[in-house]
């Protein structure tokens, strides 16, 4: 579920879409504040239930080189025995050279072997639907049954993505949130143990440890133990407007050939936009 990202500041947290959408909006906002969240759509991953491979390969053809060799030999013999017998000049080496040359030229019409293996995977997608997905490869290697894969293309991925439940996610997120700079492994020694009787509500992951007032907060107290931005995203939106917020007058602003947008005049000017009449 947690995959590596090279950014110095963020860990990429991959979460299946059905589970992500089962979280309340404010909890999603709280989580997004803590980690870089990559939501994997339901149709983008699944578990392989079955795999069948059909060999559709075609054999190589050498008709071109064989025909070329015969033509080369015939041409040489015709030349060697042309005219009066006194002028005949046959040599076995010359005959062989003509054959080889003819074969080389004719080989351009040969067709190499075309390996082609059609693999039909039966996949249970993230939304529960079972579908066939076909893949054509030049070798008969296929993924094993039971493997968790991302689709288009079919690639192995972390098994947790396919087996994760909401409760498991909440447990892991609680640990993850408490140790944002530590290893995301739940068994990390830096992570505090999660009491087994704590209801797995995502509010447990919201606050940094020093801000926690009540570790077993529940959804009944949505603002407790969360950052202000996460608890009231609409307020944060208002606060994260352009810096010159004193200029409340929106103007029609255009940047180059981009479609005009409504923006504060000061921001439009500062960004090099053109204020439209």
**Residue 18 CA, distance from chain mean position:** 18
Which is nearer to other proteins, 72 or 225 (by Cβ)?
72
Which is nearer to other proteins, 161 or 191 (by Cβ)?
161
Q: Which residues, at least 6 apart from 234, have a Cβ–Cβ distance to it below 8 Å?
A: none
- Please say whether the beta carbons of 205 and 178 come within 8 A: yes
Helix (H, G, I), strand (E, B), or coil: what is residue 242?
coil
Work out how close the CB of 125 gets to other proteins at its nearest, in angstroms, rounded to a whole number: 15
Helix (H, G, I), strand (E, B), or coil: what is residue 80?
helix
Q: Using CB under 8 A, which of the segments 109-117, 177-185, 192-200, 205-213 binds other proteins? A: 109-117
Q: List the one residue from 130, 190, 243, 275 that touches other proteins (CB under 8 A).
A: 243
Q: If we measure between CA atoms, which residue out of 104, 106, 80, 105 comes closest to residue 92?
A: 80
Q: Which residues, at least 6 apart from 190, have a Cβ–Cβ distance to it below 8 Å?
A: 179, 182, 183
137: phi then psi, degrees, rounded to nearest 5: -130, 170
270 binds other proteins (CB under 8 A): yes
Q: List the one residue from 18, 44, 110, 143 that touches other proteins (CB under 8 A).
A: 44
Work out how close the CB of 168 gets to other proteins at its nearest, in angstroms, rounded to a whole number: 20
Q: Using CB under 8 A, which of the segments 124-132, 167-175, 203-211, 269-277 binds other proteins? A: 269-277
Q: If we measure between CA atoms, which residue out of 27, 25, 33, 38 comes closest to residue 240?
A: 33
Site string for other proteins, 148-177 (x = CB under 8 A): --x-xx-x----------------------
Work out how close the CB of 147 gets to other proteins at its nearest, in angstroms, rounded to a whole number: 17
Helix (H, G, I), strand (E, B), or coil: what is residue 266?
helix
Helix (H, G, I), strand (E, B), or coil: what is residue 200?
coil
Site for other proteins, rule CB under 8 A: 3-7, 9-10, 12, 17, 28-29, 32-33, 36-41, 44, 72, 76, 79-80, 89, 94, 97-98, 100-101, 104-105, 114-116, 135-138, 150, 152-153, 155, 229, 233, 236-237, 239-243, 253-264, 267-268, 270-273
């Amino acid at each position: 579920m947690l995959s590596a990202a090279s950014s110095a500041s963020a860990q990429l947290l991959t979460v299946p879409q059905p589970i992500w959408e089962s979280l309340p909006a404010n909890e999603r906002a709280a989580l997004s504040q803590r980690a870089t969240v990559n939501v994997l759509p339901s149709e983008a991953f699944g578990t392989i239930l079955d795999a069948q491979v059909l060999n559709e390969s075609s054999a190589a053809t050498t008709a071109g080189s064989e025909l070329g060799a015969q033509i080369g030999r015939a041409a040489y013999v015709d030349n060697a025995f042309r005219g009066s017998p006194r002028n005949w000049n046959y040599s076995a080496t010359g005959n062989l050279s003509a054959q080889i040359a003819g074969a080389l030229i004719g080989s351009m019409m040969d067709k190499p072997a075309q390996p082609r293996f059609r693999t039909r995977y039966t996949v249970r997608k993230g939304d529960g639907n079972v579908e066939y997905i076909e893949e054509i490869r030049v070798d008969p290697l296929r993924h094993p049954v039971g493997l968790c894969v991302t689709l288009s293309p079919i690639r192995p991925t972390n098994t947790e993505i396919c087996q994760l439940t909401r409760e498991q996610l909440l447990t892991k997120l609680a640990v993850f949130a408490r140790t944002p700079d530590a290893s995301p492994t739940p068994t990390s020694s830096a992570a505090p143990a999660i009491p087994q009787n704590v209801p797995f509500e995502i509010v447990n992951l919201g606050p940094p440890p020093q801000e926690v007032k009540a570790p077993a907060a529940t959804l009944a107290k949505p603002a407790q133990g969360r950052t202000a931005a996460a608890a009231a995203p609409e307020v944060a939106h208002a606060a994260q407007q352009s810096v010159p917020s004193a200029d409340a007058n929106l103007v029609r602003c255009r940047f180059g050939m981009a479609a005009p947008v409504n923006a504060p005049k000061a921001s439009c000017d500062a960004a090099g936009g053109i204020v439209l009449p």
